[in-house]
Amino acid sequence: MLICQGEWTLKTLMSIKQSFQELEDIHHVETVNGKKITRMDSAGAWMLYQWIRQYEKKPTNEHFQEFDPKRVKLIELIIQANQKQPVLPEFQHPNFLAKIGMLAVAKLNEFYLFLNFLGMIFIASIKLLKKPLPISLRSIIYTLESSGVYAIPLIALLSFLIGMVLAYQMGLQLINYGANIYIVDLLGVSILREFAPLMTAIIVAGRSGSAFTAQIGTMKIGEEVDAIVTMGLSPIDILIVPKIWGLSITLPLLSILACIFGVAGGMLVSQTMLKISYLDFLNRFYTAIPVKSFWIGMIKTPVFGFVIATIGCFQGLQVFGSASSVGEKTTKSVVQAIFMIIIIDAIFSVLFSELGY
């Protein structure tokens, strides 16, 4: 019989271990008496169990006599935990169907997270409408400047070139039928209704949407988002909602600019290639193009801006680990934003066609 006494705690663990080393000549232990133990924690109980296990492969409650019931229960928990043998599943390479299932589950989880993200944006937007924060207003103005003002040269140049290309390609066909003047009708409707809003949204998705993801992702890696939470502030209120509002305001303004420069590019090609003067072009444009074509194009732009900013910010919050995750999520945000822009544009086109517009 082994008689234990004193404190069996983490504090006295080294002295207990030294005492066990002095008992190396013992080859068999039938029972352990714990009547004189004054205190025992999990560290002391584990040390006692490990020492007995050297001589008894499967220690049981019968080996421990005159222990306090609480200490007996602690020792039982340690015995049960050590007797359980974890069953590890055999590793198997997933087949094609398994990969499809895993991908579907991952996409479904991401969709649930996105719905939760939309709900938080909606609540934060209502709070911001009731009580605007100065920091949020400054963030909205900053977004208008960075995503709007600084994007004007790029949007203007590309819209001008797109207008020239459209006028040139359509003009080649109209010349064959002597219907040069109808270039105004085709160019006006196509640019105002489709090309200006769509191309502006795609350009902004590649420029501003990726910037949102990279900015928020870098802040998350640098634990700046956690610092905002620690200060008692909401990252949704401070970082996300101002960007969404700012881009939803910016995109319609940039689309108006794209309409102007796209028509200007078409006017230049019409004058040089089709011999339609600027005055004739403007007169025809005023009489042949309905105002509803402009408004139909503009109705879509706030939705495009909301989608671009929401996807960009959401993917930024999904960044984790190293800087490589920032690049991965940035690419993902741009691809998803452009995909959703085209889908939404198609939905609007079908809807307006069904309504007779």
Q: What CATH code is carried by the domain that includes residue 67?
A: 3.30.750
Does 270 lie in the same domain as 164? Answer: yes
| 155 domain residue, yes or no | yes
pLDDT in tens, 48-85: 777 777 665 555 666 677 777 777 777 777 777 766 55
3-state secondary structure of 326: helix
Does 306 lie in the same domain as 206? Answer: yes
Does 289 lie in the same domain as 169? Answer: yes
Q: Please report the pLDDT score of residue 256 as a whole number.
A: 94
Q: How far apart are CA 86 and CA 300, in angstroms?
A: 57
Does 325 lie in the same domain as 192? Answer: yes
* Arithmetic mean of pLDDT over the chain: 83
Does 265 lie in the same domain as 150? Answer: yes
Q: Please report the pLDDT score of residue 61 as a whole number.
A: 60
| 79 domain residue, yes or no | yes
pLDDT in tens, 187-216: 988 999 888 999 999 999 998 999 999 999
Number of domains in the chain: 2
Q: Please report the pLDDT score of residue 334 as a whole number.
A: 93
Single-letter residue type at 288: A
Among candidate residues 83, 99, 134, the one where a domain is terminated: 83
Q: How far is residue 349 from each of residues 157, 186, 259, 297, 302, measured CA to CA in Å? A: 26, 17, 18, 10, 16
Work out the average pLDDT over 155-178: 89
Does 47 lie in the same domain as 168? Answer: no
Q: Please report the pLDDT score of residue 129 as a whole number.
A: 80
CB contact set of 21 (below 8 Å; sequence gap of 6+): none
Strands 32-40 and 64-65 turn out to be parallel
Does 175 lie in the same domain as 60? Answer: no
Does 76 lie in the same domain as 158? Answer: no
Q: Please report the pLDDT score of residue 10 as a whole number.
A: 73
Question: Left, alpha or beta for 178 (phi > 0: left; psi -120 to 50: alpha)?
Answer: left
pLDDT in tens, 307-319: 999 999 999 888 8
Does 350 lie in the same domain as 255? Answer: yes
| 113 domain residue, yes or no | no
| 103 domain residue, yes or no | no
Does 50 lie in the same domain as 181? Answer: no
pLDDT in tens, 3-62: 777 777 777 777 777 776 666 555 566 677 777 777 877 777 777 777 777 665 555 666
Please report how many Cα atoms fall inside a 13 Å half-sphere around the Cα of residue 147, on the Cβ side: 34
Asked whether residue 94 carries a pLDDT value surpassing 80, the answer given is no
Q: Please report the pLDDT score of residue 37 as a whole number.
A: 77
Contact criterion met (CB below 8 Å) for 44 and 75: no
Contact criterion met (CB below 8 Å) for 240 and 315: no
Among candidate residues 57, 83, 109, the one where a domain is terminated: 83
CB atoms within 10 A of CB 353: 9
Range of the domain at 190: 124-354
